Structure 1
């Protein structure tokens, strides 16, 4: 089989913490003849992967270098601090960065938060990955501030997390190369944005066939005849029934069974 004979495919990259399951399911239901391939990629490498055409589109984290890339921001994540379950932080539902001033706050090399100033005290050495930082938190070495999805991704029974009210946040966006906005990319944009099959952007809708147009005209004529009231009413014997309009009341006319005004034309009843 040559490349031209091969079935097309759609490659979707995604960074840690993003769960594309729902969108993949809709794609498979809506476009079953085009297989979708998932491409996991570290957050720091996602944009370069798209530029090199390693994927047709992908979920990336912002801020990021979006040179030559289009992007649609989808949602912003809550930022949390990961701590041991018996940590003092767990006494509250929410903390601030000031309350972490005395803590060793781990800052892994793959951190996705855009810090202006890191909270707490720095560790002697930066962990290589978020997964490594989680292991250090479990060992009691420090705490870790990350987007909530990463805290869930690296969930452990001996750890928990709390919201950090004033920490920077991470936004997730759908991105793709500007010069490669294909029909498949448009289809996936429509899925992510919740469009129906008939409203997917960039796809022409089917035009009615000539016979369908004729049926529509006949139907319209039928409705017009009903509204015009042109049909005559007939009796059970098939003869036309004369339709009369109700007469307007005349001044001085009596109501009831008397009929004409003043009882004119009525014969006197004979007495027995």
Structure 2
């Protein structure tokens, strides 16, 4: 123990398929002195990582596992079916579950879609991971239904994918351990994800109220009114208007004394 406080840092977890680049860039622009470390984690392990303190916040797939984690839903992904390029399904722009009724559709153990099983015929065994299932699709063993981001992540030249209608969608969220109050750096990242501007005060220490500009201008005007006017020999300047022109006729001449008669 050196007795010195550790420098602030922020650890951001993300599951496969999520691309946090945009938010990381904004973080680095706004908080250049606070390093952000990315932690890639399998979707099935993301919640335990957050609970165990392995990350301050993370991009996960809903639903959130447990009531001790907070979450902000961000977006839903298109569901697609991954197929060999020479498969008959590749000839159409969109696929329905009925089109897969006679096809073997793989169901990996790390499946991120919220359903009991995909459409089509089940395989003899469930692949351990999505990556393993992709290899089986390439080998002609079956097809695979996944969020579009995972199809792109596991892209192969001999495979393609098509949107699959009437199926569950994978929803991505930002999640973090519940705490009261929410840690400052987590609040900062929540603000970035929600699109708050750099001048937003939400989640930050409020700035003390400043004197109003109107009051400052009023005080300045009073001070100037008390200063002697050099153009009038040190006397205060006469006010314009009817009140400042007492004893002066409209014609501009002063009233004189009546002359005596001889």
| Normalised TM-score (structure 1) | 0.76
Is 1:100 equivalent to 2:80 in the alignment?
no
Gaps of 5+ in 1: 224-229, 234-241, 243-272
Structure 1 residue 208 displacement after superposition: 5.4
User: Residue in 2 aligned with 1:182?
Assistant: 183
Gaps of 5+ in 2: 222-237, 242-249, 251-262
Structure 2 SS opposite 1:146: strand
User: Residue in 2 aligned with 1:270?
Assistant: none
User: Residue in 2 aligned with 1:81?
Assistant: 81
Range with bigger deviation, 178-187 or 161-170:
178-187
Structure 1 residue 97 displacement after superposition: 1.1
What is the alpha-carbon distance in structure 1 between the residues aligned to residue 147 and residue 213 of structure 2? 58
For the Cα contact (< 8 Å) 1:71–1:173, is it kept in 2?
yes
User: Residue in 2 aligned with 1:192?
Assistant: 193
CA change 1:157–1:219 in 2 (3 A) is farther
CA change 1:177–1:3 in 2 (3 A) is farther
After TM superposition, the runs of 4+ consecutive aligned structure 1 residues lying more than 2 A away are: 1-6, 204-209, 213-223, 230-233
For the Cα contact (< 8 Å) 2:50–2:176, is it kept in 1?
yes
Structure 1 residue 93 displacement after superposition: 1.2
Superposition RMSD on alpha carbons, in Å? 2.3
Structure 1 residue 207 displacement after superposition: 3.0
1:239-258 pair list within 5 angstroms: none
Range with bigger deviation, 114-123 or 85-94:
114-123
What is the alpha-carbon distance in structure 2 between the residues aligned to residue 109 and residue 56 of structure 1? 27
For the Cα contact (< 8 Å) 2:16–2:150, is it kept in 1?
yes
- The alignment covers a number of residue pairs equal to 225
